[in-house]
Amino acid sequence: MQQYHFLKIVTQVKIKYMEKVMEFVDGRMNELTRGIVATPDLTYLEAFAKANHGSNDYLLMQMAIQYGYKMAMEDITEIVVPQQ
């Protein structure tokens, strides 16, 4: 009985922790669509790089950084949320 109670508490803590992680990730993902530099997807980033012929490299760099951050949040989501 004591082991069951312990497992129940551990499960509740894990659920609470995962809810907080998902809340954090959702908040960060929503922030990426706002601001002066919006986060692109890969297709837009490739088209921008091809079209600018080397100009606006700072803007391209910032977009790439944000795209990498977005990919990291998506990776965390894949780990946290079980795939069905």
pLDDT of 11 strictly over 70: yes
pLDDT more than 90, % of the chain:
0
Q: What residue numbers bound the domain in which 24 lies?
A: 2-80
Q: What is the pLDDT of residues 49-78, one digit of tens each?
A: 778 776 767 787 788 888 888 888 888 887
Q: Which of these, 38, 62, 36, 34, lies nearest to 49 by C-alpha position?
A: 62
Mean pLDDT of the chain: 77
Q: How far apart are the first and last CA of the chain?
A: 32
pLDDT score, position 2: 72
Rg (CA), the chain: 19
Report how far residue 69's alpha carbon sits from residue 30's, in angstroms, rounded to the nearest whole number. Answer: 12
pLDDT band of 37, cuts 50, 70, 90: low
Q: Record the pTM.
A: 0.49
pLDDT score, position 4: 73
Between the CA atoms of 69, 74, 78 and 79, what dihedral angle is there, to the nearest 10 degrees?
20
Total structural domains within the chain: 1
